[in-house]
Amino acid sequence: MKKTFLAATVSLAALTGTTAMAMDDVIVAFAGTEDLQNDAEYVFIYAFAESLAEHGVNVTVHPSNTLGKESDRFDQTSQGLIAVNIANGGSLMKASKWASTLFLPFLTSDEASFDRVVEESAALDRINDEASRLGIKVAGFAMRGGSLGLFNTEKPVTTLEDVADMRLRAQNGDQVTFMSEWGAKPTVVSWAETPNALQTGVAVGHFNPPSTVVAAGQVELLDYFTPLEAGPVPKVIMLSDDWYNFLNEEEQGWVDDAIATGIAVNREWAQEQVPYFEQTIQDGGIEITPLAEGERAKFAEASRSVWNQIVSQDDVDYISQFTN
Q: Where are the domains of the chain?
A: 8-146+234-274, 149-231+278-320
CA–CA distance, 296 with 147 (Å, rounded to integer): 13
Residue 309 CB partners (closer than 8 Å, separation 6+): 177
Tell me, what amino acid is at 235?
K
Percent of the chain with pLDDT over 90: 91
Q: Quick one: pLDDT band at residue 320, thresholds 50, 70, 90? A: very high
φ and ψ at residue 257, rounded to 5 degrees: -65, -40
Q: What's the pLDDT score for residue 2?
A: 37
Tell me what pLDDT residue 318 has.
97
Q: Is the pLDDT of residue 288 over 50?
A: yes
| Residue (of 130, 138, 90, 97) closest to 238 by Cα position | 138
Is 251 exposed, middle or buried (CB count within 10 Å of its CB: 0-12, 13-18, 19+)?
middle
pLDDT at 10: 37
CA atoms of 101 and 312, how far apart (whole Å): 9
Q: What is the pLDDT of residue 24?
A: 74
pLDDT > 80? residue 9: no
Burial of 47 per CB tally in 10 Å (0-12, 13-18, 19+): buried
Distances (CA, A) of 169 to 13, 147, 188, 192: 39, 18, 6, 12
For residue 155, pLDDT beyond 60: yes
pLDDT at 200 over 80: yes
The amino acid occupying position 80 is G
Rg (CA), the chain: 20
- The DSSP letter of residue 202 is S
In 3D, which of 299, 135, 154 has the Cα closest to residue 228?
A: 299
How large is the average pLDDT for residues 294-319?
97
**CA end-to-end span of the chain:** 42
* SS3 call for 173: helix
User: What average pLDDT score do residues 73-96 get?
Assistant: 96
Residue 132's pLDDT is: 96
Local confidence band at 4 (pLDDT 50, 70, 90 cut-offs): very low
CATH fourth-level superfamily of 149-231+278-320: Bacterial extracellular solute-binding protein, family 7 (3.40.190.170)
Mean predicted confidence (pLDDT) in 275-289: 97
Residue 5 has pLDDT above 70, yes or no: no
- The 10s digit of each residue's pLDDT in 205-241 is 999 999 999 989 999 999 999 999 999 999 999 999 9
- pLDDT tens for 242-262 read 999 999 999 999 999 999 999
What does the alpha-carbon distance between residue 10 and residue 15 come to, in Å, rounded to a whole number? 9
The fold for domain 8-146+234-274 equals D-Maltodextrin-Binding Protein; domain 2 (3.40.190)
Q: How far apart are CA 72 and CA 34, in angstroms?
A: 20
For the four alpha carbons of 179, 180, 181 and 183, in that order, the dihedral sign comes to positive
| Average pLDDT value for residue range 40-55 | 97
Q: Is the pLDDT of residue 110 over 90?
A: yes
**Is the fold of 8-146+234-274 the same as that of 149-231+278-320?**
yes
Band the pLDDT of 22: cuts 50, 70, 90: low
